[in-house]
């Protein structure tokens, strides 16, 4: 109960709780310490002046980034244009094989995922953004949604054919994901993402999702097992590769700072 008051930053304690805090040395000590004033840190001489001098060397006007909504809309717009161009390039063989229901189900899912990932990327490139959901939940929900939509709406085939005939799609998907990931990264670095690992995972997810979307509309094999394993596999690989690239970038940056 005392902790809830600490969460709220203090306030007048109700009768019984106030009596407990008055009697309990631990709660009294903790309550007073957390809410009490903080003694300002004594700084080494000249620290603020040195920092000011350094900052003023490159002080120039800057334009603040647009709002999360506008940033996300830009990302989704670029995503849509890239999908349209690539589908036009490879031919809409997959779209032609899908029924109206399958098309509606898949498009709803992919558009929702693209929109949410765009919002997440916008949060990530601005320090201090309020994240209402973790990335892992978003990706988990998409994976569950994709598996459900595909399993229910698309026909199943015999297992050996799934295993033999699909690796080409993953290969092509990876080839699409690489440049898309690079473009996404360039756009994201216009912000100030605090963590390279988290950014890498998000960029990997965006690139993987775009590849999966292109494959869905261009690949003529629309059997459920093939879609789940080989098309879904592109997203998983891209996510892992993005995270690994972010981790490597962090190590390189740390070594540079040591010098």
Partner 1 sequence: MPPETDRYRGRRRRSLDEEALRQLMIRYQQADPEAADELIRKLTPVLFGFLSAPSASRSDTEDLVQECWLRIHKSRHTYRPTEPVLPWIFAIARHTSLDGYRRRRRVESREVKTERLPERAEMPELPGMGLKDELGRYLNQLPNSQREVILLLKVTGMSLEEVARATSSTVGAVKQKAHRAYEKLRRLLGETDGFRRKS
List residues near partner 1 by CB under 8 A. Answer: 2-3, 6-7, 9-13, 15, 18-19, 21-22, 25-38, 40-41, 43-44, 47-48, 50-52, 54-56, 58-65, 67, 124-134, 191-192, 194-195, 198, 250, 253-254, 257-258
Residue 67 Cβ, how far from partner 1 at the closest point, in Å?
Answer: 7
Dist. CA 221–CA 169, nearest whole Å: 10
Dist. CA 201–CA 203, nearest whole Å: 6
List the one residue out of 52, 32, 33, 55 whose CA is nearest residue 43: 52
128: DSSP letter: T
18: Cβ contacts below 8 Å, ≥ 6 apart: 12
Question: 21 vs 114, which CB is nearer to partner 1?
Answer: 21
Question: 55 vs 164, which CB is nearer to partner 1?
Answer: 55
Residue 70 Cβ, how far from partner 1 at the closest point, in Å?
Answer: 11
Residue 136 Cβ, how far from partner 1 at the closest point, in Å?
Answer: 12
List the one residue out of 125, 152, 123, 128 whose CA is nearest residue 138: 123
Residue 83 Cβ, how far from partner 1 at the closest point, in Å?
Answer: 28
Question: 26 vs 158, which CB is nearer to partner 1?
Answer: 26
Question: 10 vs 140, which CB is nearer to partner 1?
Answer: 10
Question: 86 vs 139, which CB is nearer to partner 1?
Answer: 139
Residue 106 Cβ, how far from partner 1 at the closest point, in Å?
Answer: 30
Dist. CA 183–CA 210, nearest whole Å: 12
List the one residue out of 92, 97, 115, 86 whose CA is nearest residue 226: 97
Dist. CA 16–CA 37, nearest whole Å: 25
């Amino acid at each position: 109960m005392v902790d809830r008051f600490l969460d709220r930053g203090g306030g007048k304690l109700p009768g019984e709780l106030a009596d407990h805090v008055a009697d309990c040395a631990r709660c009294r000590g903790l309550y007073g310490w957390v809410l009490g004033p903080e003694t300002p840190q004594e700084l080494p001489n000249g620290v603020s002046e040195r920092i000011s001098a350094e900052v003023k060397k490159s002080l120039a006007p800057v334009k603040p980034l647009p709002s999360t909504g506008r940033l996300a809309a830009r990302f989704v717009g670029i995503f849509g244009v890239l999908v349209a161009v690539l589908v036009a390039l490879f031919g809409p063989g997959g779209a032609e094989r899908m029924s109206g229901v399958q098309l509606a189900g898949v498009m709803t899912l992919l558009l929702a995922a693209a929109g949410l990932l765009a919002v997440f990327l916008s949060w990530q490139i601005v320090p201090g953004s309020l994240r209402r959901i973790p990335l892992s939940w978003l990706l988990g929900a998409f994976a569950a949604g994709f598996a459900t939509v595909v399993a229910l709406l698309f026909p199943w085939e015999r297992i050996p054919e799934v295993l033999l005939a699909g690796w080409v799609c993953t290969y092509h998907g990876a080839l699409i994901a690489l440049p898309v990931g690079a473009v996404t990264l360039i756009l994201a670095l216009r912000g100030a993402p605090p963590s390279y690992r988290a950014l890498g995972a998000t960029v990997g997810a965006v690139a993987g999702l775009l590849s999966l979307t292109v494959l869905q509309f261009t690949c003529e094999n629309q059997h459920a097992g093939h879609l789940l394993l080989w098309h879904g596999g592109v997203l998983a690989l891209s996510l892992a590769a993005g995270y690994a690239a972010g981790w490597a970038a962090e190590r390189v940056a740390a070594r540079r700072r040591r010098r």
